[in-house]
Structure 1
Amino acid sequence: MPAFCVSIPARELRGICEQARARKARLVALWGSDETTRRSGYALHLALGFPSGLLWLSVPLSREDPHYPGIADIYPSANRMQRSTADLLGIIPSADADRRKWLRHGAWPEGAFPLRKTVEAAARFAHGPDRYPFIPVEGEGVHEIPVGPVHAGTIEPGHFRFSIVGEKILRLEERLGYTHKGIEKRFEQMTLEEGAKLAGRVSGDSTVAYAWAYAMAVEGATGTEPPPRALALRGILLELERIANHLGDLGYLGNDVALSFGFFQFWRLKEDLLRTHAQLFGHRYLMDAIVPGGVAKDLPRGAGESLTAHLERIEREVAALKSIYDEHAGAQDRFIMTGQVTPALAERM
């Protein structure tokens, strides 16, 4: 996909985003950068995805007043990215935007911005108070139910504030970011080889996806072309990772509607696949298999046929389990009409 980069003044940001939205472009990412070491100020960056390619907008901001017009009313998904950028860099959206903190959680004081170049990577801050202004819902019969941030499973922490009347959920507000690790700052201190290992550990069960993205960035910056076999192996690794994650998710679907049989069967299939990963590539979750320039692990000779047979067996068992999910009255009662998102709402978000 071709990418185009353009620098624009802050006053033109909203107009361009409105035009992009009208043309069905989606917001891919929003982030900031500290350009003060280049005798400049700060910059806000957006990536907009069009059918014809990617548009990278860069908005220079002054060192003294790094404010910009917020775009969360145009692209609702920008809300958390704007708040994260404010927490980390002090790049602040307009006054009508949501300015509540997102990542800080009292881990560093208000007015300190860890991703600024003036902050040392080894800096430590005293943990301060952590008061978060949830948006209240009022009315007759409204109850608030807090869930988390500590959960019973091994999922990452998150706080969910439900406002309900009976069984009807009026509002759900999430607060995440509890496991913010300062990864961006760590990257600044690392070599490309060290960065590759860190990228593969941003999210353990998506190590291939993150490692490949990092490798592509390094290869693009250095003009490196990976060998064709390495690209093919990357594709195989990514598909294996995707299948393993989908098997786990299908099991969780059963678990969430009290069909524990489905949970255990899908996780049995996932465990078998993870063991195959370890046998073929040396790691259950395929860590460190992808490196800038190629791959660090090759598929053993003759392993292709056994891997294909294993995947065909998974396909047959998934088909059988699907029929159980489809025909189980209790599961269907809980699945049908649950969590519906209309195409219009999905497009607006």
Structure 2
Amino acid sequence: MSSSNWATDFLNQLNNAEFFIVPTLMNRHLTTAGQSDEDIKNNNAVLWNIESKHWQQFSQYAIEQNLRWVAGWAEHAETLFIVNACFEREGTYLLLRTHVNNESPELPSQATVYPAANRSERHTQDMFGINFIGHPDNRRWTQHKAWAVGSYPLRKDFPVQGEPQAVTPPDMDYPFVKAYGAGVYEIPVGPVHAGIIEPGHFRFQAVGELILNLEERLGYTHKGIEKIAEDRTPESLARLAGRVSGDTTVGHCWAACMAMEQAADIQIPPRASLIRGILAERERIANHLGDMGGICNDVAFVFAQMQFTRLRELCLRTNATVFGHRLLMDRIVPGGVISDLSAASCALITQEISQLRNELSEIMPAVDLNSSLEDRIYTAGYLLPEIAAAFGTLGYVGRASGQNFDVRRDSPYSPYDQVVFKVAVENQGDIASRFWVRYKEILSSLKLIEQFIAQLVIAQPADGEILTEWQPPKAGSEGLGIVEGWRGEIVTHIRFDTDNKIARFYPRDPSTLNWPALEKLVLNNIVPDFPVCNKSLNGSYSGNDL
């Protein structure tokens, strides 16, 4: 069944069940259901408006139709809240929307059906004051003690500078789950850690060295990203998006620019798309090399850690030489890119690819044959495929547990719609699988970069355009940018206000859905294996803590 057919058939089923759903024309990207295969192929998203009383009931129908829950967020209008939930099936995204009033905002919880919606609804509850009826865990999530009870920072009447106290009280009374019994004890880890990682609290219950339960408490790096995005220009918003999570600056900036470009109904030049693809794949390679080294380091395999770190450093130095920034920040802008690639730069990248392949061909056999590494990462940190699916895990975390989804292949956008590549998927679900999926993704990224460079050199003129002139969109225009970041699918929603200013910016980092999986994959592992389990997932604190 084609994506357009399933969406149309699903809509008919719901209307027959006395739902009242309005498919709405939103913009060039978000379109009505029931279009042709070619339209769906080019747009990949539909928008449905639904009555609030059916919000939770819709999710029951959606899970029966094998829709994946993707993201949820809200907006504050003058007299009401706009609440959104995004679903996906077969590469087509369905944006569900409803409205609740300001005076007593409440909505049936979708987290009762989709565990993936749990923390998103808690974030919306804390930031907007919307009560999700029947939510399985309505403890505060984003809101620590920085705001008074009854303060909701993402409401329009809340000042951007906030109402800070002289000293923020310590968040000492969060009701962590308790465990009792002979020999059961608790281990609090963080929020401040021994290394340079960002703050996050992990509360263990264990017997001996065996982990019985893990509970995360995040949100310590809340930056106010969504609030300070309001009233920014597109250029300023793109810079902010690139700092949602510093190691994913390309992915988040691309998703934000894609959403703004859809709202403005502009097409970026083909050459700019190819360069964006090269930037994204270089970001993927560098981070995977760093993670592979980190996994080896956490089990004291220092030789491999040094080699992967060295290769990552060489990649970053080439970034600085070719693009002017080691981490590739601010290379993507609304309408295209600011850095072109000369023939000499293409030759340098091609040479580096050959060298990296040669180096990896020597290092990986040594890694594969190391028995001490094998003892620590095989069968450890096992994530059951069914749990991975229930929590909507993404990227290498999901694909190591059989979740065969990649936006680049399944909902392709330029330049990925011009190439063919293989997505690495494994079913073992352990640390080793997450390690080897990363390695296979590096090899795939190298091939993709070669294909993009070939198109730059052969199909595109050396002086081709890399930037489309910006056209300010009308007030209320919105877009949904979806790209495959190195951690997985990134979803960004942007709405414009008057005068080319941003009214709403919501970025959903893959870590938002991957972090809860850590609480599951550490169960029945020993406490000393927690660091390597954590590193194999490597969720972004910053990307989670908007």
Query: Do they superpose with TM above 0.5?
Result: yes
1:9-88 matches, cutoff 5 A: 9-36=51-78, 40-51=79-90, 53-88=92-127
The question of whether the paired residues in 1 share the 8 Å contact of 2:116 and 2:390 is answered with no
The question of whether the paired residues in 1 share the 8 Å contact of 2:238 and 2:256 is answered with yes
In 1, the alpha carbon distance for the partners of 2:224 and 2:289 equals 31
Per mean C-alpha deviation after superposition, the further-off stretch among 6-15 and 157-166 is 6-15
Q: Select the residue among 93, 108, 132 that pairs with 2:174.
A: 132
1:302-317 matches, cutoff 5 A: 302-317=344-359
In 1, the alpha carbon distance for the partners of 2:68 and 2:379 equals 27
Which runs of no fewer than 5 residues in structure 2 stay unpaired?
Answer: 1-42, 392-546
Q: Are residue 203 (structure 1) and residue 245 (structure 2) matched?
A: yes
The question of whether the paired residues in 1 share the 8 Å contact of 2:112 and 2:134 is answered with no
1:138-177 matches, cutoff 5 A: 138-177=180-219
Residue of structure 1 in register with 2:140 after alignment? 101
Residue of structure 2 in register with 1:321 after alignment? 363
Could you give the per-residue CA deviations for residues 192-242 of structure 1, whole angstroms, max 9, x where no partner exists?
111111111111111100110111011000011000000000000000000
In 2, the alpha carbon distance for the partners of 1:293 and 1:338 equals 45
In 2, the alpha carbon distance for the partners of 1:162 and 1:52 equals 38
Q: Alpha-carbon deviation of 1:11? A: 1.9
In 2, the alpha carbon distance for the partners of 1:17 and 1:49 equals 12
Residue of structure 2 in register with 1:282 after alignment? 324
The question of whether the paired residues in 2 share the 8 Å contact of 1:108 and 1:128 is answered with no
Q: Alpha-carbon deviation of 1:166? A: 1.9
Q: Select the residue among 200, 219, 235 that pairs with 1:193.
A: 235
Q: Are residue 293 (structure 1) and residue 335 (structure 2) matched?
A: yes
| SS of corresponding position for 2:95 | strand
Per mean C-alpha deviation after superposition, the further-off stretch among 231-240 and 55-64 is 55-64
Residue of structure 1 in register with 2:456 after alignment? none
The question of whether the paired residues in 1 share the 8 Å contact of 2:112 and 2:135 is answered with no
Q: Alpha-carbon deviation of 1:96? A: 4.4
Per mean C-alpha deviation after superposition, the further-off stretch among 283-292 and 150-159 is 150-159
One-letter amino acid of the counterpart of residue 280, structure 2 = L
In 1, the alpha carbon distance for the partners of 2:354 and 2:65 equals 42
One-letter amino acid of the counterpart of residue 45, structure 1 = N
In 2, the alpha carbon distance for the partners of 1:71 and 1:285 equals 37
Could you give the per-residue CA deviations for residues 163-205 of structure 1, whole angstroms, max 9, x where no partner exists?
1112221111001111110011111031111111111111111
The question of whether the paired residues in 2 share the 8 Å contact of 1:31 and 1:46 is answered with yes
Could you give the per-residue CA deviations for residues 270-292 of structure 1, whole angstroms, max 9, x where no partner exists?
01110110000110000110001
Per the normalisation by structure 2, the TM-score is: 0.62
The question of whether the paired residues in 1 share the 8 Å contact of 2:154 and 2:226 is answered with yes
- Cα 1:52–1:263, aligned 2, differ >3 Å: closer, same or farther? closer
One-letter amino acid of the counterpart of residue 27, structure 1 = W
| SS of corresponding position for 1:340 | coil
In 2, the alpha carbon distance for the partners of 1:181 and 1:96 equals 26
Per mean C-alpha deviation after superposition, the further-off stretch among 85-94 and 238-247 is 85-94
In 1, the alpha carbon distance for the partners of 2:240 and 2:318 equals 24
Residue of structure 1 in register with 2:285 after alignment? 243
| SS of corresponding position for 1:250 | helix
Residue of structure 2 in register with 1:255 after alignment? 297
| SS of corresponding position for 1:33 | strand
Per mean C-alpha deviation after superposition, the further-off stretch among 99-108 and 272-281 is 99-108
- Cα 1:221–1:96, aligned 2, differ >3 Å: closer, same or farther? closer
CA RMSD of aligned residues (A): 1.3
1:212-231 matches, cutoff 5 A: 212-231=254-273
Per the normalisation by structure 1, the TM-score is: 0.96
- Cα 1:68–1:320, aligned 2, differ >3 Å: closer, same or farther? same
Per mean C-alpha deviation after superposition, the further-off stretch among 129-138 and 55-64 is 129-138
In 1, the alpha carbon distance for the partners of 2:161 and 2:146 equals 14
Could you give the per-residue CA deviations for residues 302-340 of structure 1, whole angstroms, max 9, x where no partner exists?
111221111221122223222222111111110111011
**Does 1 or 2 have the higher relative contact order (CA < 8 Å, sep 6+)?**
2
| SS of corresponding position for 2:343 | coil
Residue of structure 2 in register with 1:118 after alignment? 157
The question of whether the paired residues in 2 share the 8 Å contact of 1:158 and 1:178 is answered with yes
Per mean C-alpha deviation after superposition, the further-off stretch among 93-102 and 336-345 is 93-102
Per mean C-alpha deviation after superposition, the further-off stretch among 215-224 and 68-77 is 68-77
| SS of corresponding position for 1:151 | coil
The question of whether the paired residues in 2 share the 8 Å contact of 1:247 and 1:270 is answered with yes
The number of residues matched between the two structures is 346
- Consecutive aligned runs of 4 or more in structure 1 exceeding 6 Å deviation: none
In 2, the alpha carbon distance for the partners of 1:317 and 1:306 equals 16
One-letter amino acid of the counterpart of residue 276, structure 2 = R
One-letter amino acid of the counterpart of residue 161, structure 2 = A
| SS of corresponding position for 1:6 | strand
Q: Alpha-carbon deviation of 1:95? A: 4.3
In 2, the alpha carbon distance for the partners of 1:52 and 1:266 equals 34
| SS of corresponding position for 2:282 | helix
One-letter amino acid of the counterpart of residue 249, structure 1 = D
Could you give the per-residue CA deviations for residues 20-57 of structure 1, whole angstroms, max 9, x where no partner exists?
11222111101111112xxx311221000111511111
Which runs of no fewer than 5 residues in structure 1 stay unpaired?
Answer: none
In 1, the alpha carbon distance for the partners of 2:305 and 2:191 equals 23
